[in-house]
Structure 1
Amino acid sequence: MLRNREGKRVAVIVNDMSEVNIDADLVRNGDAALSHTEEKMVEMSNGCICCTLRKDLLVEVGKLAREGRFDHLLIESTGVSEPMPVAETFTFTDDQGRSLGDIASIDTMVTVVDAFNFLRDFSSHESLDDRGEALGDDDERSIVDLLGDQIDFADVILLNKTDLISSDELHTVHGMIRALNPQARIVETVNSAVPLAEVMGTGRFDLKKAAQHPGWLDSLVEHTPETEEYGISNFVYERRIPFHPQRFHEVLQLEWPGVIRSKGVFWLATRLKLAGYWSQAGGMARYECAGHFWSVVPRDHWPADTTHIDRVWREPNGDCRQEIVLIGTNLDRPALTAMLDAALLTPEELATPEHLWPKRFPDPFPKWKMAVAAW
């Protein structure tokens, strides 16, 4: 971007987790020699933009803005940072009530995808710690978690190293990325060479939309014409019958053919008041407790805006349900639906008294840690 800046004056902030900022050195000493009169680089090392460096970022952006010499500010965060918290940094207020949003606005969130390594990394079971990239001892994220977050939140995705893979591989990678983020503009690149107009001054970032970043995937709301070309489809598995915990646990161990991403709420017969949360991307998956279903929460503890509750409310069990989004390529919807249906309670099992279900139905899921309810 610096080498092809097309006459634009660009200030650059490079954030790196290491004490020696290798990325900044590469930019400084490489082809993109920095002119002190046209652009400026600020190094922010040994920290993460979204946490320890928030105040420093506010100070540095303030300095650059007051100089009034720059058309754009490019912030390159560390490669293991999540983009949503970086965007949230612009709403952070310091002790004097100042925020980055007062002096600058986000124009475009750009993610660069390594096309050559994407298929391998997306099927990986490795954690960031396995690769020595964890932010600390408490960072338990997987490679796939990070890939998904960085792709999902992008306005523009540079699909780089396209010269190193075959046309069939490129077709597959393009389709998977489109499935993960149907709204972003995908630009295929070699050596990340891209016209500035694709990544600067696009106006693609929408703060209001970002603030409502979904628990559900955008592909449920709007398709792009490319979905047919790449064989991408999605559907929502919805049922109002609890899962038999043993059979559902077994389903989670199976391969879900064609599924790239799945995410949603599930309901176990042995934990009728609690909503389970399922999330899978590539070769990684996890389940946990999402909290109580609203149907068991007293009305005076409901939020003022009940739109999201009303959307899923059905008598007689309120919001207790199975609602799992499945997204993938060439999905066999009948087969996947049948696989999940087989884990539901049978009519005979439903006919037995509910109070016997916890003893009658084996439950291999770990015990969910729940705070004591305030009601």
Structure 2
Amino acid sequence: MSVPVVIVSGMHPEPRSALVSRLLARHPGSVAIHHDLREVSAGRVGRVVRDTSGTLDLREVRLAHGCVTCTVREDLVPELLARAGSAALLIVELWDSVEPRTVAESLARHEDTAGVLRLTGVLVALDAARATEDLCRDEPLAAHGKHAAAGDGRRVAEVLVRQIEYATHIVVSGAEEEDVELAHAVLGHLAPTTPAEAAGPALPAVTGAGIDVEMLGARVDPATARLPCDARTGEISTVVWHRLRPLHPQRLFAAVDELITGTVRSRGRFWLATRHERLLAWDAVAGVVSVEDAGPWLVTLPEAAWEMESPARRMAATLDWSSLLGDRVQHLVFTGPGLDRERILRLLDSCLLTEAEILAGSDVWAGYQDPFAAVLGLREASA
């Protein structure tokens, strides 16, 4: 019988550690493992193993290469396997800025864990007041001492969003009712299908069936993401833009700053006239935007090649399908306080090709100047 493993992540150490302690108390015989990555860039990691009685093991682990992936491969997996024979539940408490997806997929796909460990959940613990503030922080992790490797250029808001959107369950702590209510309102927009509850006696179930990391990844991957719907909760709004014309690259590029100003989060998939066959991913948090090539639109592939795509990818394409364009679509969502819905929609609509430009055809579109080419070219070269 495989041993259940639950991952607990979170940017805020106090509520994260408290959630782990509650899980340990609820499940007798459980063990928690935590890696302190403050010195990972020097190849040193502190590992703490504890149960309800206190610390069972505390030691420094030296790695050949200082990174999260190395920590999982060289120390976390062996430690989990070593304790699987005696533990009723294994809890992986992640360091502040570690994104749970990397760890979840490493555990699920490791050749030695099959039949021995089963991943049953990915929880994120949040401090209500700090969460709403951190979602607006565009500062680098290093400025807060939370970077997870040398040269870690990620930002606070970016990592917190990844933790929230990947989780299977969210637990919110807070002394002030107003903070908790605001945090729940924001979470209802960022991760509307993920259960979220205030910290209390109730705990998520973590000893049941294993979760499917492929489906979990599909929830957040740009080509298959389950994007939020139009919604408004108090001052928080989510605006959805869905169109079936290609975008003019120069007009969209000129509109980027205005589009992300005032939004906490925006994401989705879009279609540039100059890249007629490529699905592009839009990802922006706290005023910092990323645009990436996410692969071909399925309509551009021979039908036989569809079988090589994941079921989630084929389903997403089917839902977006139109007889003229296949799965090509503009689908972007913007979330933030006090958003002007009509202004966002007008601005995006002004970036679409006009009727005359549409009639000119894709051969003409290919000759448009493309300001995104430099960014996408850099990402393609580094892939």
- What's the TM-score once normalised by structure 2's chain length? 0.74
**Counterpart selection for 2:298 from 294, 297, 302:** 294
Structure 1 residue runs of 5 or longer lacking an equivalent are none
Q: How many residues align?
A: 345
The 8 Å contact of residues 175 and 231 in structure 1, kept in 2 or not, is answered as no
Asked if 1:86 is matched to 2:94, the reply is no
Once the two structures are superposed, residues 273-323 of structure 1 have per-residue CA deviations (whole angstroms, 9 ceiling, x without a partner) of: 333221123333211222333344444544445444333332433333322
In structure 1, C-alpha distance between the alignment counterparts of 2:341 and 2:210, rounded to whole Å: 34
Aligned to 1:126: 139
Aligned to 1:156: 169
Deviation at 1:86, TM superposition (A): 1.4
Aligned to 1:198: 203
The 8 Å contact of residues 176 and 260 in structure 1, kept in 2 or not, is answered as no
The one-letter code sitting in structure 2 at the alignment partner of 1:349 is E
Aligned to 1:213: 219
Change (3 A) 1:295 1:147: same
**Counterpart selection for 1:64 from 64, 83, 86:** 83
Aligned to 1:313: 321
Aligned to 2:275: 271
Deviation at 1:149, TM superposition (A): 1.1
**Counterpart selection for 2:348 from 340, 351, 355:** 340
The 8 Å contact of residues 15 and 45 in structure 1, kept in 2 or not, is answered as no
- 1:104-253 alignment runs, 5 A limit: 104-137=117-150, 139-160=152-173, 162-163=174-175, 165=176, 167-189=177-199, 194-195=200-201, 197-199=202-204, 201=206, 203=208, 206-207=211-212, 209-210=215-216, 212-215=218-221, 216-218=224-226, 220=228, 234=238, 236-253=240-257
Q: Percent identity?
A: 25
**Counterpart selection for 2:373 from 362, 366, 374:** 366
Change (3 A) 1:139 1:256: closer
In structure 2, C-alpha distance between the alignment counterparts of 1:115 and 1:236, rounded to whole Å: 26
Change (3 A) 1:236 1:257: same
User: Runs of 4 or more off by more than 6 Å in structure 1?
Assistant: 20-23
Which has the higher Rg, Structure 1 or Structure 2?
1
Deviation at 1:265, TM superposition (A): 1.9
Change (3 A) 1:42 1:49: farther
The one-letter code sitting in structure 2 at the alignment partner of 1:270 is T
In structure 2, C-alpha distance between the alignment counterparts of 1:219 and 1:242, rounded to whole Å: 20
Say which SS state the counterpart of residue 109 (structure 1) adopts: strand
Deviation at 1:175, TM superposition (A): 1.2
Once the two structures are superposed, residues 43-63 of structure 1 have per-residue CA deviations (whole angstroms, 9 ceiling, x without a partner) of: 574665644432533332232
Once the two structures are superposed, residues 9-42 of structure 1 have per-residue CA deviations (whole angstroms, 9 ceiling, x without a partner) of: 33121112145767849x79xxx7527xxxx446
The one-letter code sitting in structure 2 at the alignment partner of 1:123 is C
Say which SS state the counterpart of residue 106 (structure 1) adopts: strand
The 8 Å contact of residues 46 and 61 in structure 2, kept in 1 or not, is answered as no
The one-letter code sitting in structure 1 at the alignment partner of 2:170 is I
Aligned to 1:8: 28
Deviation at 1:172, TM superposition (A): 2.3
Say which SS state the counterpart of residue 54 (structure 2) adopts: coil
Structure 2 residue runs of 5 or longer lacking an equivalent are 1-19
In structure 1, C-alpha distance between the alignment counterparts of 2:225 and 2:182, rounded to whole Å: 20
In structure 1, C-alpha distance between the alignment counterparts of 2:360 and 2:232, rounded to whole Å: 45
- What's the TM-score once normalised by structure 1's chain length? 0.75
